[in-house]
Amino acid sequence: MDNRAIGVFDSGLGGLTAVRQLHRVMPGEDIIYFGDTGRVPYGSRSRRTILEYTRQDVAFLNSHDIKAIVVACGTVSSVALGVVSTENSIPMVGVVKPSCYAAMRATKNGRIGIIGTKSTIRSGSYEAMLHTLDPSIHTIARPCPLFVSLVENGRFSADDRVVQLMVEEYLAEIRDYGVDTLIMGCTHFPLLRDAIADFLGGGVTLIDVGAEAADYVRTFLDPAERQQGTTEYYVSDDIESFDEHAEMFLGEPAGVHAQMVDIVSYGKERG
């Protein structure tokens, strides 16, 4: 029996949406989760800084007995994964490829919207993958820089007027473009699903990138034989906030507690 764990990391709490899906589809797996809550968000950082942070995050996970890593961060998946995956021998799964495959399966009219952090949208990673799969696909991508901060602060209710205003501001052009599928290219964004769905209308399929990445893990890892695995949670700052908000990301009963990590002590930037 393989008792090694699956590592998952994100810049904050959004990656817990991937953990939530792993709990559903691979309940026997042990999971090590790291949320870099002290440096969230990554999406406004330079490529050099994102690479440095990613190497530290991966080094921390590798300090445990890890058999695969889920990069539950759209920014890292878009900007740093291609580099960091070549520096590590264990499988690393990002959110871009699995969610693009899901979007291609979902779309009927060939019009796909993409939302994410500034760095994710600037990278063009989702558009490049979609056009590799089908050059005739039509895409529209827009950054939503304030969505992460809203979610990290517990502001995601569809009835919240501030959330409604932000959704309208960021998604008006996407709605007018006539998309029938929207890739929520950040693992924080599924918490805003109801508000986004209300604005776009019921005919638009919303792709949860964290859930798609978690599902993809099943394609190359044999499931653990035990019935129930364990999950350990680590953060780089503000344990109290994690304990308070984790339940809303995980959709599981309260009682989740995190441990503190001095993340800058892990890994070194390679330039």
Per DSSP, the residues of 139-188 read EEEEE-TTHHHHHHTT---TT-HHHHHHHHHHHHHHHHHT-SEEEE-STT
Amino acid (1-letter code) at residue 131 = H
Instruction: List, in sequence order, the alpha helices (H) in the chain.
Output: 16-25, 47-62, 74-79, 81-84, 96-106, 118-123, 125-133, 147-152, 161-177, 193-200, 209-217, 239-250
Tokens of 1: 């029996």
**Could you tell me the CA-to-CA distances from 143 to 118, 168, 242 in Å, in that order?**
5, 13, 25
Annotated catalytic residue within 26, 73, 211, 250: 73
**Could you tell me the CA-to-CA distances from 101 to 48, 112, 148, 181 in Å, in that order?**
28, 12, 24, 12
Asked if 208 and 196 count as a contact pair (C-beta separation under 8 A), the reply is no
Asked if 18 and 82 count as a contact pair (C-beta separation under 8 A), the reply is no
> Would you call 100 a catalytic residue per the annotation?
no
- Cross-strand pairs, 182: 113, 206
Asked if 145 and 166 count as a contact pair (C-beta separation under 8 A), the reply is no
Annotated catalytic residue within 79, 186, 246, 256: 186
Q: Which residues are catalytic?
A: 73, 186
